[in-house]
């Protein structure tokens, strides 16, 4: 995807989930919108280089949005919702070999016989597949990205729902999308959320497919450019 014009700033702090304080190149301090309610582990260190976008929508309280932060491992996408757009473009470009020539049937399809939704339903002429996407930003060590960086009951529920889909005869996939350019491999965190790890282990045993996508970002364009390995341990 093509990125909007970005302004380089210094990140001072991120707080109250939706807010961040930044310092511009001419020394002005401003409060801006942070489009990520997660823990943002290692992505919110003071005095990190960051990039922000601007909106001229008069209805917005904060006209500027935190988009990317530079960490020791790479450039990290802060807008967690972009992971789905990256995934959709990657599938349409046949980046994922196991989904070559699949077409999008529906975004945010309802989970059959449950209250929630998955991120995507894809299909080819032979079969359909439900896909749940998880954005990965936490780089632990030597290119290894870890999910989750905090307890995520919602992620565990999605895994149980994917297992039910698999039991009903459809394909089901958990797709980890890295938004950190330094991540070259993805694994599951055991110490952060053991329930998620156990649910993922069960899902793999039941045949739920688990894949990873790595990202490329030169601050002009942003893409999930290649498939990267997922390893449970």
φ and ψ at 177, to 5 degrees? -110, 110
For the domain made up of 7-77, the CATH class stated in words is mainly beta
Domain with CATH 3.40.1350.60 in the chain: 82-231
DSSP 117: B
Domain 82-231: give its CATH code: 3.40.1350.60
86 touches 39 (CB < 8 A): no
DSSP 216: E
Q: Residue 84 CB: number of other CB atoms within 10 A?
A: 18
pLDDT per residue over 105-148, tens digit each? 999 999 988 889 999 999 999 999 999 999 999 998 899 999 99
What's the predicted TM-score (pTM) here? 0.95
Looking at the chain, how many residues does it have?
A: 233
Q: In whole angstroms, what is the distance from residue 134 CA to residue 179 CA?
A: 10
Domain with CATH 2.40.50.580 in the chain: 7-77
Q: Which two tokens stand for residue 95?
A: 């980046």
pLDDT of residue 141: 85
138 touches 147 (CB < 8 A): yes
Q: In whole angstroms, what is the distance from residue 78 CA to residue 44 CA?
A: 10
Below-50 pLDDT ranges, the chain = none
């Amino acid at each position: 995807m093509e990125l909007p014009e970005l302004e380089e700033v210094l990140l001072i702090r991120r707080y109250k989930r939706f807010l961040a304080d930044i310092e511009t190149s001419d020394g002005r301090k401003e409060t801006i919108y942070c489009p990520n309610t997660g823990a943002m582990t290692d992505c919110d260190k003071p005095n990190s280089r960051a990039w922000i976008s601007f909106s001229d929508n008069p209805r917005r309280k904060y006209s500027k949005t935190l988009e990317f932060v530079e960490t020791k491992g790479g450039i990290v996408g802060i807008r967690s919702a972009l992971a789905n757009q990256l995934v959709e473009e990657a599938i349409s470009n046949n980046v994922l070999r196991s989904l070559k020539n699949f077409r999008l049937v529906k975004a945010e399809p309802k989970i059959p016989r449950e209250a929630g939704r998955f991120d995507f339903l894809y299909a080819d002429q032979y079969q359909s597949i439900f896909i749940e996407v998880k954005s990965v930003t936490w780089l632990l060590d030597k290119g290894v990205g870890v999910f989750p960086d905090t307890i995520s009951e919602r992620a565990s529920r999605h895994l149980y729902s994917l297992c039910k889909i698999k039991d009903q005869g459809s394909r089901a996939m958990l797709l980890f999308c890295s938004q950190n350019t330094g991540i070259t491999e993805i694994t599951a965190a055991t110490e952060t959320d053991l329930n998620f790890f156990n649910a993922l282990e069960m899902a793999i045993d039941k045949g739920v497919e688990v894949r990873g996508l790595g990202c490329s970002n030169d601050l002009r364009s942003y893409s999930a450019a290649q498939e990267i390995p997922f390893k449970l341990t």
